[in-house]
């Protein structure tokens, strides 16, 4: 078993310990109940296609999406499928279940209040755009992966970032805006928050039962572009995933020129040269697919839409309160304008609806007053809905002949108030003032909420750092005895339940007391730090290295046999022998033990056997 790992537990704690910590913070991204039921069925021994299909059919949105992906162009199918069972067979049951998890994570993220932080919503859209881009790439390249597999990898590749945005919305959002390179971002995350999005994502995916193969693809995609190595299929899928995320921002923004140029570069990297005369059509297909998938997302109204968003009414900048007045045919319009100006409002009259839209986008209108002769017809209602959606602030509609049902529909469409054409100037000014008070109250509440979020975010970050300090050794940055005990108990229980191997190694430095006596404690501390670094470099993602105290260390390795631990010990001895210090050669003794169901009752027995073997070895050298 290869113990060469890519993570640095001095900066990021072990996966199991990390999962415990992020679960304690709460508000984690998670799959839907339907997806979890599918996972549960998949892991049972007696599941069948009909049982899986029945669960899928209980979720209409998931049914539509699976059928859409199964019927994607270019998949080699001779006929479209209309039945869920056929879609599952074409996609593969496992791939379909994983896809349902990815889609449901984004759905829940978009509908659970994440829109309070723009970066959260933007990240959800980019995840979906990357997935659509991967589908587009896979349809035109000979990538040895199903489109559903790549689609799911893209959806969940940055789930760790969603978690960090939940934990620390303000500081992490600011970090995302200033750091573009993924490797630099991972480093900054560990420096600022004591964890990184890749480790969080891996921990979450494994906890949900996500296959290791696809987790490796996600890991590979966040490696350096020059360092994409390993299993050929994993490396190639990692390249597709990275390219898809590279295209995602341009897909969401709909920038044809830059998207076309980058799409040609991406395809060229896979050995496909697209003629310049054809790239426009290729990219149009990509953008059409994006619009199709994006329209199903919760809360997917275009960015900046809605009565308050474009007006910036929550920004706290009210140097003047402006009313846009469109009433070219109303005899009451002069009275309304006079009363509004008398009340202190700045009134701007416009003669055409198009001008109202232009003013709403260009400036900061607070209230929009529009006179509409008849609002009772379906065509008029549609026009009013579009109008309200394009306005930059709350809309008051003046319309005659509106019965109660029509008024109800108008209010449902987003109109704040419906007034009679004969309304007096004083009542109009009172209605505008009432709406303004609501806007100001909303602004105040949003400001207070922002302050509370910042305070809670800083408090959570401080708590997180303090919690981390209680679980790590300050000198070496390794896990301390407390974290080691919790980690060992957790994996002992897993090994017992799954009947898998679990081994540990107790390590003691040779002649450490002599080093302290001869060179001082500062030199001794340096020896401990160097040894800790050597141990870290031999870790896998699932292992944990612990400083027990003094010059004693412990390595806990799940899914590892005693024979494999002996190989690890030999590799450690080679690494230590190459280390030259001012205090002389560095040496250590190690005792290895594997969980034995016949002689061991608990994790303390495993540690005791390893420690006994260490002591026996040291006595034999005397």
For the ranges 108-112, 238-242, 248-252, 466-470, which has the lowest average pLDDT? 466-470
Residue 397 falls inside a structural domain: yes
**Does residue 306 have a pLDDT over 50?**
no
Residue 258 falls inside a structural domain: yes
26: domain CATH number is: 1.10.3210.10
Residue that is last in its domain, among 424, 441, 458: 441
Residue 310 falls inside a structural domain: no
247 in the same domain as 112? yes
Residue that is last in its domain, among 390, 409, 441: 441
List, for residues 576-602, the tens digit of each pLDDT value: 988 888 888 889 999 999 999 899 999
Residue 472 falls inside a structural domain: no
Tokens 């631990």 locate to 565
List, for residues 484-534, the tens digit of each pLDDT value: 998 999 999 999 998 999 999 999 999 898 998 899 989 999 999 999 999
Residue 571 falls inside a structural domain: yes
For the ranges 166-180, 448-462, 472-486, 546-560, which has the lowest average pLDDT? 448-462
Residue 362 falls inside a structural domain: yes
**Does residue 565 have a pLDDT over 80?**
yes
How many separate domains does the chain show? 3
122 vs 108, higher pLDDT: 122
List, for residues 54-110, the tens digit of each pLDDT value: 888 777 677 777 777 777 655 554 567 777 788 888 888 887 888 787 877 777 776
**What does the pLDDT average to over 469-496?**
88
**Does residue 538 have a pLDDT over 90?**
no
433: domain CATH number is: 3.40.50.2300
421 in the same domain as 492? no
pLDDT at 290: 85
Continuous H helices in 499-557: 512-519, 521-537
DSSP result, 239-301: HHHHHHHHHHHHHHHT-HHHHHHHHHHHHHHTT-PPPHHHHHHHHHHHHHHHHHHHTTSTT-P
**Does residue 535 have a pLDDT over 90?**
yes
503 in the same domain as 393? no
**What does the pLDDT average to over 346-363?**
67
501 in the same domain as 388? no
Residue that is last in its domain, among 388, 420, 441: 441
563: domain CATH number is: 3.30.70.270
pLDDT at 363: 45
DSSP 374: E
List, for residues 511-522, the tens digit of each pLDDT value: 898 998 899 989
Residue 312 falls inside a structural domain: no
Contact 371, 347 (CB under 8 A): no
Which structural domain, as residue segments, surrounds residue 127?
15-294
338 in the same domain as 282? no
Q: CA 552, CA 238: separation in Å to the nearest integer?
A: 39
366 in the same domain as 288? no
525 in the same domain as 388? no
326 in the same domain as 290? no
For the ranges 11-15, 206-210, 315-319, which has the lowest average pLDDT? 315-319
**Does residue 420 have a pLDDT over 50?**
yes
Residue 451 falls inside a structural domain: no
212 in the same domain as 338? no
- Strand, coil or helix: 513: helix
182 in the same domain as 71? yes
333 in the same domain as 288? no
Burial class of residue 184 in the structure, from the number of CB atoms within 10 Å of its CB (0-12 exposed, 13-18 middle, 19+ buried): exposed
């Amino acid at each position: 078993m290869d113990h060469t790992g890519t993570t640095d537990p001095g900066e990021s704690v072990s996966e199991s310990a990390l999962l415990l910590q992020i679960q304690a913070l709460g508000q984690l991204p998670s799959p839907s109940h339907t997806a979890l039921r599918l996972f549960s069925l998949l892991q049972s021994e007696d599941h069948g296609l009909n049982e899986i299909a029945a669960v899928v059919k209980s979720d209409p949105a998931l049914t539509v999406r699976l059928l859409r992906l199964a019927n994607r162009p270019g998949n080699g199918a001779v006929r479209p499928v209309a039945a869920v069972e056929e879609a599952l067979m074409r996609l593969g049951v496992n791939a379909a279940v994983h896809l349902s998890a990815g889609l449901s994570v984004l759905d829940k993220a978009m509908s659970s209040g994440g829109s309070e932080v723009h970066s959260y919503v933007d990240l959800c859209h980019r995840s979906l755009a990357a997935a659509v881009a991967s589908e587009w790439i896979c349809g035109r390249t000979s990538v040895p992966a199903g489109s559903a597999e790549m689609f799911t990898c893209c959806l969940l590749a940055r789930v760790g970032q969603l978690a960090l945005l939940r934990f620390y919305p303000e500081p992490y959002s600011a970090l995302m805006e200033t750091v573009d390179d993924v490797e630099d971002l991972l480093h900054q995350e560990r420096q600022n928050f004591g964890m990184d999005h890749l480790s969080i994502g891996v921990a979450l995916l494994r906890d949900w039962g996500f296959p290791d193969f696809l987790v490796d693809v996600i890991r590979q995609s966040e490696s350096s572009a020059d360092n994409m190595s390993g299993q050929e299929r994993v490396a190639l899928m990692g390249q597709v995933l990275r390219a898809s995320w590279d295209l995602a921002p341009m897909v969401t923004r709909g920038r044809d020129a830059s998207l076309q140029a980058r799409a040609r570069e991406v395809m060229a990297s896979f050995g496909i040269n697209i003629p310049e005369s054809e790239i426009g059509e290729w990219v149009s297909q990509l953008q059409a697919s994006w619009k199709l998938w994006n329209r199903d997302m919760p809360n997917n109204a275009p960015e900046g839409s809605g009565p308050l968003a474009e007006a910036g009414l929550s920004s706290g900048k009210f140097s003047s309160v402006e009313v846009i007045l469109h009433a070219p045919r109303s005899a009451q319009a002069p009275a309304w304008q006079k009363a509004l100006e008398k009340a202190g409002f700045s009134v701007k009259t416009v003669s055409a609806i198009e001008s109202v839209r232009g003013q709403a986008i260009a400036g900061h209108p607070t209230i929009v007053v529009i006179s509409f002769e008849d609002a009772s017809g379906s065509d008029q209602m549609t026009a009013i809905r579009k109008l309200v959606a394009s306005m930059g602030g709350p809309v008051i509609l003046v319309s005659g002949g509106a019965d109660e049902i029509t008024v109800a529909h108008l209010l449902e469409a987003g109109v704040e108030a419906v007034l009679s054409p004969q309304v007096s100037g004083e009542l109009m000014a009172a209605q505008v003032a009432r709406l303004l008070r609501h806007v100001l109250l909303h602004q105040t509440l949003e400001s207070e909420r922002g302050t509370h979020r910042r305070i809670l975010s800083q408090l959570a970050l401080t708590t997180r750092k303090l919690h981390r300090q209680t679980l790590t050794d300050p000198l070496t940055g390794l896990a301390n005895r407390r974290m080691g005990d919790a980690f060992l108990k957790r994996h002992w229980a897993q090994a017992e339940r799954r009947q898998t191997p679990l081994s540990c190694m107790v390590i003691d430095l040779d002649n450490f007391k002599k080093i302290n006596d001869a060179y001082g404690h500062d030199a001794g501390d340096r020896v401990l730090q160097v040894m800790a670094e050597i141990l870290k470099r031999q870790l896998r993602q699932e292992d944990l290295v612990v400083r027990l105290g003094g010059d004693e260390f412990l390595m806990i390795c799940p899914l590892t046999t005693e024979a494999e631990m002996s190989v690890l010990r030999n590799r450690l001895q080679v690494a230590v022998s190459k280390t030259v210090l001012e205090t002389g050669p560095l040496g250590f003794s190690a005792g290895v033990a594997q969980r034995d169901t016949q002689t061991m009752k608990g994790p303390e027995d495993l540690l005791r056997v390893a420690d006994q073997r260490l002591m026996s070895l040291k006595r034999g050298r005397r």
